[in-house]
Amino acid sequence: MKTAIYETAGRAREYSELALNLFNHCDHSCIYCYAPNVLRKDRGDFNQSAESRLLPLDIEISANKFKGENRRVLLCFTCDPYQDSEKGSKITRTAIEILHEAGLGVIILTKGGIRSMRDFDLLKPGVDAYATTLTLNDPVKSNQWEPGAALPVERIYALEQAHKKGIETWVSFEPVIYPQETFKLLELTHTFVDHYKVGTMNYHPQGKSTDWKAFGFAMKRVMDAMGVKYYFKNDLLREMGILPAEFKQKVVCR
């Protein structure tokens, strides 16, 4: 049986302590993606459409082992739960149903935009969360960096609709490709996003062109002025010269 729900480690644990990766591939083809290296896959092969790596029984057996957990299960870290190829298998919907049957909450982390909204009827206020990664507001740049993902306007629309349904929403500002785009995305979304997780840009040379210390302190000033909740990741805090234990986060990871 393939590994289903697992305890996260390292950078991933700052987002969620439990996770479930449904696919071995991702057709979003983001050029900054770290997953091909982690999974030791050729990037071209990794970006091909594929069916689920798990059977429903794999997920059910694993979910039953975590019954009674207060921690939620994140879908997904090394792939997106809403790819074009997923339309056939509907494994993401099945996974949510199985996790709920075991009394587990879920966190959806996706760049799927409108296609991810098909499962909003399953997400429960106070139990589940819906999150999206926002990197670029400019659609042309988005298509260059994330050619298979939904455009930013779609992702923002999905966030707003989730918020209207009373579902907890959050945004991952990681990777930060161009800081000015990140500030714009914050401006566009802060009225319907419950909290933000802010990082840097790892695994790609573009990250070396940013003054992360200046970005971090500027982002904190703007977020504090807006009154939004946030979690700054350890990578960013190190660039800012702050020890994680000394930084007062405005949201606690679950």
Whether the predicted pLDDT of 85 surpasses 70: no
Lowest-pLDDT range of 85-89, 209-213, 227-231 = 85-89
Q: What is the pLDDT of residue 104?
A: 97
Chain mean pLDDT for the chain: 93
For residue 63, is it within any domain? yes
Which of 9-18, 42-51, 78-87 ranks highest by mean pLDDT?
9-18
Write out the H or E segment, with its range, that includes residue 171: strand 168-173
pLDDT digits (tens, 9 = 90+) for 35-54: 888 888 888 888 887 678 88
Residues 110, 93: Cα–Cα separation, whole Å: 14
For residue 251, is it within any domain? no
Beta strands in 35-141 (DSSP E): 73-75, 106-110, 129-133
pTM: 0.94
For residue 1, is it within any domain? no
For residue 78, is it within any domain? yes
Q: What is the pLDDT of residue 161?
A: 98
Interval 4-24 mean pLDDT: 93
Q: What is the pLDDT of residue 222?
A: 98
Q: What is the pLDDT of residue 117?
A: 96
For residue 79, is it within any domain? yes
Q: What's the domain count of the chain?
A: 1
